[in-house]
Structure 1
């Protein structure tokens, strides 16, 4: 008999164990009985698994996950850290002397951000399709090296055109990383493990934003004028020095996917275990792209609603994604050090709430992804309604800019949800996650030019008003996705009933 849970996951009998997964044998992973028993034999769930999910698993699986976490979470977090470091540094440089030195007194900052976004958009879907055909351990680190080298060239720019061109190619190279690493994470982890890893990965981007602010403050104080370079120029130089070693390490450590991995730190038994975990999860291995597969992907609601959900998330956090806080501080006469460091509190709140969302989704809500998404949307409605009014006490305005961090922590949950919904088709999963990120940035390429114009700073009334409607749309989309996923799982289970 089938039954449903509030998470929207439909279960059959007692198949929903500590891993919250639907056991499947549809895919052609090689396995043996002993390995299957190692994965399935889970002790009764204790309080320890609420701290970290591996603590209630078998010793063999725990040892494997320790290695996997050590490599994937380190590479993903450090890579996303340097991606954000090299992405947001333009804002820190802009408010720290670049504006005056290059005479950027119009909407040039918007155009610089748009050039990056256009490059990012162009590269995402082709890159994720390539990742299903070539080794991620070659493609992802190579692109990291490229964007790190291009970042240092920003220090030598004399004209806005040079900045625009470099920002375009930096965005093109960076387009590989986030959707690519989300695809890799979704290829190794089970349902009860997925949200925490996706969100730990995503939190490192906020840490990169924080570090860029602290680094700019330190560089402006210590290195301005050294070697003939201004403080904002030194920021780009140091970012590259930090980024290159991290990028190069990926060539040696990236584990690729379970069915093609040659990672030197995994034994043959551990690779077999990894494949079996994905078979039991119903997570499909790689398969050829066919006309029928494309027809299936584009006739499903998955690609459209999951993409819409991520568009609303990605474009609904303008108070933290745009330099609204920095420019308000600058208009109030705060020194450059404070302009760069106070907004890092928002990023710190994003880190904390990202982790809270992940743990509560996996434990309190038993694998449901929609409750934290709805909660963050409600917080955004309160924040942006207040900022749209603008004539509010400064104390509450400070609070709103800080609390904007609550809206930035659900990216990992949306990708975890996409991996689960599209888990039985590897190519759909790669294409959907790539499309989610790409289309979000398609909107980001032009929407800020309309609603976050630099010349309207720091009031940004159009931006705050638009963000209210985006938050409402995100909440409604999350509820609809939950309903459709629940119905889809129920139909699949009904079709699998022996007497159906």
Structure 2
């Protein structure tokens, strides 16, 4: 048992044989306990809310609000529009306002709007609420990845991003169970407010500006020194736009998640729940609960893949696994005469679509580590462009009227998986070209000089756009 506990400690916090490593371990313990737990709860609740909308639709909301045609898809699209509008402004605000103030404030706004959702009597009221709720919620996802990338080394970041992503899936996993007996959103709002208040007190901001009372002065200095990333806090200027638009990172990572994020359409549009409701023969509780198997497989895939990428420091194979799994699922569903059991297998296997999310954002955090401002913009833009596509993608390829077969949706899924493989190769190629030109992040100045390459720091890196050789 003692050996097992030592293995767990080493897995998350590394070796502790020297005084410096023991101090680093204590720092990680504190940051994991405070920051990760808080942010995980935030995203778990927001993902629970999204799942509640889908489950409420198949559990009675459609009839209660007299929803017609594609009203359900419109709700999701309007929410997505608000999410898009709020994405980059929210991450820019983290450069101006302390994350300890901004993120919990947006969570309180989100919670109040959630309370309002439980009192609607018309679908148009849901349209308005979900738009503004999308703006508030836009702070949580990219903002959390920004915070994680500010505190953790590359070999620590993957599994933390994986745990963060899985926390949202836990909300999805239990949403069906909750929604089977609760057809409103009061529980989301009740849970949100104390979490936000806890954030005001405990969120440590970023290493360069943290004043967290639970960190000693030595730990604050260590949190900056142990990272190779840019930890300084810069004012906003037009130079930020020049730096972001003159490099490959914004274009390539935005394209990667804009494409690969659509593999999550199986879960985000609750296709399995719509399929079960359309073919008939299942109770409301079964329709709510059976899709939880997809979320369970998604959690397992995410954690295993994220852990593997931390050990190997190779991110791209996870996207290959994700794309291959979704292609297999799509083929099984397209063959409509196949057994019901095979379709259950296909929908559960489709949970692998979530495994690439944590890896993609960890990859972007690592690639942009030398420029804090660029990193914030890239992370927000990745999520923004994915949601730009997602604003119309379900309406075109997964309308509720296409249930239960979703024929064109499955063909679109196979195409998007192939596109994901292509863009993954592009990001891999561009990153390695940058390493050849400027050195790999984390190399010492001596290592870089030995290759006759300049050591480039934040704000000084030469342009490396797609045309540079």
TM-score where L is the length of structure 2: 0.90
Indicate which of 354, 359, 374 corresponds to 2:307.
359
- Whether 1:165 and 2:128 are equivalent positions in the alignment is yes
Shift of 1:318: 1.6
**CA displacement at 1:105 relative to structure 2:** 2.6
Distance 2:67 2:122 in 1: 10
* 1:282 pairs with one of 212, 216, 229: 229
Question: Does 1:86 find its partner at 2:49?
Answer: yes
The aligned residue for residue 185 of structure 1 is: 148
CA-to-partner distance for each residue in 1:252-278, whole Å, 9 max, x for gaps? 111101111111111111001101112
Q: How far apart, in 1, do the equivalents of 2:112 and 2:11 lie? A: 37
Mean Cα deviation higher: 79-88 or 434-443: 79-88
> Per the alignment, do residues 159 and 358 of structure 1 end up closer, same or farther by CA in structure 2, a change over 3 Å counting?
same
CA contact (8 A) 2:69 2:401 kept: yes
Structure 2 SS opposite 1:149: helix
In structure 2, the residue matched to 1:296 is 243
Aligned to 1:312: 259
CA contact (8 A) 1:50 1:359 kept: no
1:56 aligns with 2:15: yes
Which residue number in structure 2 is paired with residue 249 of structure 1?
A: 198
The answer for the alignment partner of 1:203 in structure 2 is: 166
User: How far did 1:160 drift?
Assistant: 1.1
CA shift at 1:75, angstroms?
A: 0.8
Q: Which residue of 2 aligns with 1:5?
A: none
* Structure 2: distance between partners of 1:148 and 1:292: 36
SS of the counterpart of 1:423? Answer: coil
Distance 2:149 2:13 in 1: 17
Structure 1 CA distance for aligned equivalents of residues 399 and 286 of structure 2: 23
2:118 aligned counterpart, secondary structure: helix
The Cα offsets for residues 420-445 of structure 1, whole Å up to 9 and x where unpaired, read as: 11111111100000000011001111
Residue of structure 2 equivalent to 1:146? 109
- Structure 2: gaps of 5 or more residues: 1-5, 441-446, 453-469
Q: Distance in 1 between matches of 2:251 and 2:200?
A: 34
Contact 2:224 2:231 in 1 (8 A): no
- Kindly tell me the number of residue pairs found equivalent between the two proteins: 436
TM-score under structure 1 normalisation?
0.84
Q: Distance in 1 between matches of 2:254 and 2:34?
A: 29
> 1:412 deviation in Å?
1.2
User: For residues 490 and 394 of structure 1, do their structure 2 counterparts lie closer, same or farther at Cα, with a shift above 3 Å needed?
Assistant: same
Q: CA deviation at 1:464?
A: 1.1
| 1:75 and 2:38 aligned | yes
Look up the match of 1:497. Answer: 449
2:65 is aligned, of 82, 102, 105, to: 102
Provide the C-alpha distance between the structure 1 equivalents of 2:168 and 2:142, rounded to a whole number of angstroms. Answer: 13
Contact 1:114 1:444 in 2 (8 A): yes
Structure 1 residue 286: Cα displacement: 2.2
How many Å separate the matches in 1 of 2:192 and 2:403?
Answer: 32
Residues 49 and 214 of structure 1: CA distance in aligned 2, closer, same or farther (over 3 Å): closer
Query: How big is the alpha-carbon RMSD for the aligned residues of Structure 1 and Structure 2?
Result: 1.7
Query: For residues 55 and 83 of structure 1, what CA distance do their matches in structure 2 show?
Result: 32
State the Cα deviation string for residues 220-252 of structure 1 (Å, max 9, x = none): xxxxxxxxxxxx13xx11221122211221111
Q: Which residue of 293, 303, 306 corresponds with 1:345?
A: 293
Q: For structure 1, which runs of at least 5 residues remain unmatched after alignment?
A: 1-46, 220-231
Counterpart Cα distance in 2 of 1:426 and 1:333: 53
Contact 2:322–2:353 at 8 Å: present in 1 too?
yes
Q: Does residue 413 of structure 2 align to residue 467 of structure 1?
A: yes
TM-superposed deviation, 1:313: 2.1
Q: Deviations over 1:430-478 (max 9, x none)?
A: 0000000011001111111111111111211111111111111111111
Q: 1:457 to 1:254 in 2, by over 3 A?
A: same
Q: Hey, what's the Cα distance between the residues in 2 that align with 1:116 and 1:467?
A: 22
2:430 matched residue in structure 1: 484
Q: Which residue of 1 aligns with 2:389?
A: 443
Shift of the alpha carbon at 1:130?
A: 0.9
Q: For the Cα contact (< 8 Å) 1:188–1:258, is it kept in 2?
A: yes
Pair 1:390 & 2:336 matched: yes
Query: Against the structure 1 CA distance between its residues 478 and 49, is the aligned structure 2 distance closer, same or farther, given a 3 Å change threshold?
Result: farther
- State whether residues 48 and 55 of structure 1, in contact with CA within 8 Å, keep that contact through their aligned partners in structure 2: no
Number of the residue aligned with 2:375? 429
Q: Which residue of 2 aligns with 1:262?
A: 211
Residues 119/345 of structure 1: CA separation in 2 closer, same or farther (3 Å cut): same
Matched residue, 2:455? none
- 1:498 CA drift (Å): 4.9
Counterpart Cα distance in 1 of 2:450 and 2:413: 49
